Amino acid sequence: MRVLYSLGIFFYSIGIRVAAIGSTKARLWLHGRRNLFGRLREAISRDSKAVIWFHCASLGEFEQGRPLIERIKTLHPQYRVLLTFFSPSGYEVRKNYQGADIVTYMPLDTRSNARQFLEIVKPELIVFVKYEFWLNHLAEIRNRNISHYLVSAIFRSDQIFFKAHGGIFREALKGYTHIFTQDKSSLDLLEPIGVKNISAAGDTRFDRVAEIAAGAKDIPIAASYTAENKMLVAGSTWKADEDVLLPVMKKHFAAGWRMVIAPHEISEARLSSIESALKAIGVSDTKMIRFSKGAINLPADLKVLIIDNIGMLSSLYRYGTVAYIGGGFGKSIHNTLEAAVYGIPVVFGPAYEKFNEALGLISCKGGFGVHSVKELEIAIDNLLSDENHRVVAGRNAGNFVKENLGATDKIMAKLFAT
């Protein structure tokens, strides 16, 4: 199996090179790994402190690892933190992250790369976040007897670990010093296959969104735009979200509701597309404005504020009464907790089944997952027309976040147990 796995990695590397002909993301993946070991060796040599290595696949996993990184930097300054990413979508956004001492890509998972990487870094402790199971690196880590942990992990019965042909992956799980899962159901899957060093610590993202909310920025334009507790914030939306959400909002605009749209991408084409979609439901040019063109005193009859910048969304939710989380009518929903932490109800499309926090919000009646335009209309209508329902749902969402805080403390206690 190890030979087949390594062969698969080899063909993956060829595929990336072919894809780079027409894919910017693939080109970034290759470019970021050029002279990786040389640059890493130079960075490591600048300081003699011991290294703790965090690895995240991409941006979402980084947000789960971030509370731990920042806690370590505060409580254990005797260590340097090396942060690696697999995907350009994580590295390109966080390559200048000040919480880590070194930020780079993880090398392709070959045996020789694993040996060279670990020989240069010599980490004292390693933390993988959520879904990272690179067998050659894990084998070399185990050979060197380095403590390594998996945090915020989720396991499902359809994964390879629980299949007849998944023996080599099961052995990798058994090699971890400890695995921290998000939930008990993951423990129930791991225990029967002989994985013993495990515990359910929860999801560090709850701690992260609480930290973000505590330090949320004041946004005067958004504050002046909030009126009579009637504002829906649509965050990280794609065209597929706007296609179903905007027609539903049409009648609520007439009832005094306002809306903030913060699209996931802010290219001119996307922003123009949103403006065209708003015009199609009867919102005139004078009743919509881009954030960059706004002012403190917005027009009294303004209906839609379009956010044309990155980095503001997590603070914007504090001004909302209801939140719609984008991505659900595409591949997967974005971060529901960023809105729920403010004690407002959240609505999202059907691609949420793999997200425990979304399932938890639905279970506590603080979140509403919809599978069709009709279900979306019902959910939005109920929340926007029934104040009591809206208030109770928002309270449920806020309590759900509060009740799930503490994963960072549990993990830190184990990582640095004396």
Q: DSSP per residue over 285-344, as a string?
A: GGGEEEGGG--SS--TT--EEE--SSS-HHHHGGG-SEEEETTTTTT----SHHHHTTT-
Single-letter amino acid code for the residue at 73 = K
Q: How many CB atoms lie within 10 A of CB 57?
A: 19
Are residues 47 and 182 both part of a single domain?
A: yes
Q: How far apart are CA 411 and CA 418, in angstroms?
A: 14
CATH of residue 191: 3.40.50.11720
| DSSP output for 165-178 | T-HHHHHHHHHSSE
Check whether 220 has a pLDDT greater than 80.
Answer: yes
Structure tokens belonging to residue 284:
């005139």
Are residues 111 and 147 both part of a single domain?
A: yes
Are residues 127 and 226 both part of a single domain?
A: no
Compute the chain's Rg from CA coordinates. Answer: 23
Are residues 257 and 227 both part of a single domain?
A: yes
Are residues 167 and 237 both part of a single domain?
A: no
Are residues 238 and 387 both part of a single domain?
A: yes
Q: Model-level pTM greater than 0.95?
A: no
Average pLDDT score over residue span 276-281: 96
Check whether 338 has a pLDDT greater than 90.
Answer: yes
Average pLDDT score over residue span 13-41: 93
Structure tokens belonging to residue 75:
């409580």
Average pLDDT score over residue span 297-324: 91
Are residues 128 and 232 both part of a single domain?
A: no
Structural domain including 243 reads 215-403
The predicted pLDDT at position 240 comes to 96
Contacts of 232 (CB under 8 A, 6+ apart): 249, 252, 257, 258, 259, 260, 320, 321, 322, 323, 324, 380, 384
Are residues 239 and 384 both part of a single domain?
A: yes
Phi and psi angles of residue 84, each rounded to the nearest 5 degrees, phi first: -120, 150
CATH of residue 343: 3.40.50.2000
Instruction: Count structural domains, the chain.
Output: 2
What's the pLDDT band for 296 if we cut at 50, 70, 90? low
Are residues 390 and 268 both part of a single domain?
A: yes
Are residues 108 and 257 both part of a single domain?
A: no
Q: How far apart are CA 19 and CA 22, in angstroms?
A: 6
The predicted pLDDT at position 300 comes to 78
Are residues 201 and 275 both part of a single domain?
A: no
Are residues 263 and 360 both part of a single domain?
A: yes
